[in-house]
């Protein structure tokens, strides 16, 4: 995690050199953070999980009106109970937290609070308030929110500086988050009930403090203040709230399967399905569990059973089509995905699976067309970029092949590889074309980051050797 530190530090200095609300620099800082963090933050690719979080997040963002930056939501594949945002509107929520929320409103409360931190520029303002901190410490602080072990271990200078918001900033984020959630039609009380769950857990098990409570310090007083704000601002609970959309049960199944232990989670969902064998919903969740842990044969059986029992509409088609594509059963995959795409023609994930199914059937042209459509809808689909790059390379289109492979490597956080692929693509595009420009910009962005990474690696190697020498008493 050390790599790129100086670059990010430079970005911070830029951000801090201007006024506290220097939004373009915050956007830049957030983007650099995302580029570097992707290698350390495994993001969830499951479309149901992504759509659930993005749906609630985007509904909250709508009430903000025009903003200096676009908000983006990411789900980190990590069992710890955590959520954080970085400057520039990048909001991260961990699967460990998703597995614990009881309804949509609790997640809206958490996301609203994170939007509040980004909206009020808290991280940047923290630095300006405590002038004693170096920019490197500030970076270490952000990294330690990503992964307390990695952050503290890797950035020695920042060992004590874990991301920890002040009481004032927590209250401001609570205040803003409560207003956003209420205006977006969610129950503002859900934030308080989520906090109460965390505090109750804490009393039962005082030794394990969730990462979320370390960065967002939680006290009885703060929880009481949430109720005070709701009363003072006359925030209403909309009719029918709080409520859990059907997607939440699916999200909980997938996130619990990711967190494991696999046997325990499989057994639990299997038992529930066996108790009510005619319940399509329970078969569906069992199928999603098996799919997530990679037991594809069992996933296929459960999802087919859910489909047969009926009543779930199109929800079964996308995961079932995905399982068929992974099992190299192209005919069945194309039928299920075709049904889904008939209703959702712009679903990037389903287009990607359709491309894989057609490749399995030996239709390379058809496969490439589907992959290219998937990329247009969702350029962040790493697998679509990678498969399109390989397919283009196979047919001799080296320029576009390397271009898509470079994008895929960047999405995986493999920046050295990405830079090298962009550099191979660059001379193959004609001067003045938009793609040539895009490739040159990507190279200009990646070169200093990669150079810094190499300097860091070299320095670490030297430090490692001198540490060894010291231990040997030389």
Name the percent of the chain in helix, strand, coil, to the closest 5: 70, 5, 25
Instruction: Tell me how far apart the alpha carbons of residues 67 and 156 are, in angstroms, rounded to a whole number.
Output: 36
Task: Give the nearer residue to Zn ion in terms of CB position, either 100 or 216.
Answer: 216
| Nearest CA among 393, 445, 398 for reference residue 426 | 398
Q: Least distance (Å) from Zn ion to the CB of residue 212?
A: 8
Task: Give the nearer residue to Zn ion in terms of CB position, either 165 or 403.
Answer: 165
Give SS3 for 310. Answer: coil
Residues of the shown chain interacting with Zn ion in the complex, contacts defined by CB under 5 A: 165, 170, 173, 216
Structure tokens, 313? 């509409």
Q: Beta-carbon neighbour count of residue 261 at 10 Å?
A: 8
Q: Least distance (Å) from Zn ion to the CB of residue 206?
A: 21
Looking at beta carbons, which residue is closest to Zn ion?
216
Q: Least distance (Å) from Zn ion to the CB of residue 205?
A: 22
Structure tokens, 99? 């597995």
Task: Give the nearer residue to Zn ion in terms of CB position, either 45 or 214.
Answer: 214
Taking every pair of C-alpha atoms in the chain, what is the biggest distance, in angstroms?
74
Task: Give the nearer residue to Zn ion in terms of CB position, either 148 or 448.
Answer: 148
Task: Give the nearer residue to Zn ion in terms of CB position, either 69 or 195.
Answer: 195
Task: Give the nearer residue to Zn ion in terms of CB position, either 165 or 422.
Answer: 165
Task: Give the nearer residue to Zn ion in terms of CB position, either 170 or 304.
Answer: 170
Alpha helices in 205-329 (DSSP H): 211-215, 220-232, 246-259, 262-275, 280-292, 296-309, 317-326
Instruction: Tell me how far apart the alpha carbons of residues 173 and 320 are, in angstroms, rounded to a whole number.
Output: 41
Q: Least distance (Å) from Zn ion to the CB of residue 170?
A: 5
Pair type for strands 72-76 and 90-94: parallel
Q: Least distance (Å) from Zn ion to the CB of residue 165?
A: 5
Q: Least distance (Å) from Zn ion to the CB of residue 108?
A: 15
Q: Least distance (Å) from Zn ion to the CB of residue 215?
A: 7
Assess contact for 430 and 423: CB atoms under 8 A.
no
Instruction: Tell me how far apart the alpha carbons of residues 30 and 33 are, in angstroms, rounded to a whole number.
Output: 5
DSSP string over 178-207: HHHHHHTT--THHHHHHHHHHHHHHHH-TT
Q: Beta-carbon neighbour count of residue 93 at 10 Å?
A: 26
Instruction: Tell me how far apart the alpha carbons of residues 89 and 66 are, in angstroms, rounded to a whole number.
Output: 13
Q: Least distance (Å) from Zn ion to the CB of residue 73?
A: 16
Task: Give the nearer residue to Zn ion in terms of CB position, either 173 or 254.
Answer: 173
Q: Least distance (Å) from Zn ion to the CB of residue 177?
A: 8
- Compute the CA torsion angle 308, 311, 316, 320 (nearest 10 deg): 0
Assess contact for 308 and 314: CB atoms under 8 A.
no
Instruction: Tell me how far apart the alpha carbons of residues 75 and 54 are, in angstroms, rounded to a whole number.
Output: 9
Task: Give the nearer residue to Zn ion in terms of CB position, either 38 or 189.
Answer: 189
């Amino acid at each position: 995690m050390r790599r790129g530190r100086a670059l990010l530090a430079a970005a911070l200095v830029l951000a801090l050199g201007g006024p506290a609300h220097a939004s373009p620099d915050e956007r830049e800082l957030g983007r650099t953070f995302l580029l570097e963090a992707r290698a350390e933050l495994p993001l969830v690719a499951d479309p149901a999980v992504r759509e659930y979080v993005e749906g609630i997040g985007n509904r909250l963002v709508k009430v903000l009106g025009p903003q200096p930056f676009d908000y983006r939501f990411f789900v980190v594949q990590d069992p710890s109970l955590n959520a954080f945002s970085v400057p520039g509107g990048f909001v991260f929520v961990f699967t460990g937290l998703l597995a614990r929320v009881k309804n949509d409103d609790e997640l809206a409360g958490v996301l609203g609070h994170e939007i509040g931190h980004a909206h009020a520029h808290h991280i940047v303002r923290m630095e300006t308030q405590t002038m004693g901190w170096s920019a490197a410490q500030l970076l270490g602080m952000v990294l330690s929110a990503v992964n307390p072990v990695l952050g503290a271990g890797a950035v020695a200078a920042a060992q004590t500086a874990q991301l920890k918001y002040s009481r004032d900033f927590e209250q401001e984020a609570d205040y803003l988050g409560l207003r956003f959630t209420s205006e977006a039609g969610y129950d503002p009380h859900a934030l308080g009930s989520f906090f109460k769950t965390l505090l109750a857990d804490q009393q039962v098990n005082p030794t394990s403090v969730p990462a979320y409570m370390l960065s967002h310090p939680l006290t009885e007083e703060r929880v009481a203040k949430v109720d005070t704000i709701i009363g003072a601002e006359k925030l209403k609970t909309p009719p029918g709230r709080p409520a859990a959309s059907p997607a939440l049960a699916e999200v909980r199944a997938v996130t619990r399967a990711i967190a494991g232990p696999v046997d325990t989670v499989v057994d639990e969902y299997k038992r529930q399905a066996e108790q009510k064998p005619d319940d399509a919903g329970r078969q569906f969740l069992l199928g999603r569990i098996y799919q997530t842990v990679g037991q594809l044969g069992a996933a296929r059986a459960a999802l087919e059973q859910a489909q047969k029992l009926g009543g779930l509409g199109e929800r079964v088609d996308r995961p079932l089509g995905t399982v068929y594509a992974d099992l190299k059963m192209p005919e069945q995959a194309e039928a299920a995905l075709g049904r889904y795409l008939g209703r959702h023609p712009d679903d990037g994930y389903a287009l990607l699976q359709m491309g894989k199914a057609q490749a399995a059937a030996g239709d390379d042209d058809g496969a490439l067309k589907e992959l290219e459509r998937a990329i247009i809808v969702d350029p962040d689909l790493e697998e679509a970029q990678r498969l399109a790059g390989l397919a283009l390379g196979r047919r001799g289109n080296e320029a576009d092949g390397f271009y898509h492979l470079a994008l895929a490597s960047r999405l995986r956080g493999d920046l050295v590889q990405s830079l090298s692929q962009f550099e191979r693509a660059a001379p193959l595009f004609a001067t003045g074309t938009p793609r040539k420009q895009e490739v040159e910009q990507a190279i200009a962005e990646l070169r200093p980051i990669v150079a810094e990474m190499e300097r860091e690696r070299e320095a670490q190697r030297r430090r490692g050797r001198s540490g060894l020498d010291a231990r040997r008493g030389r």
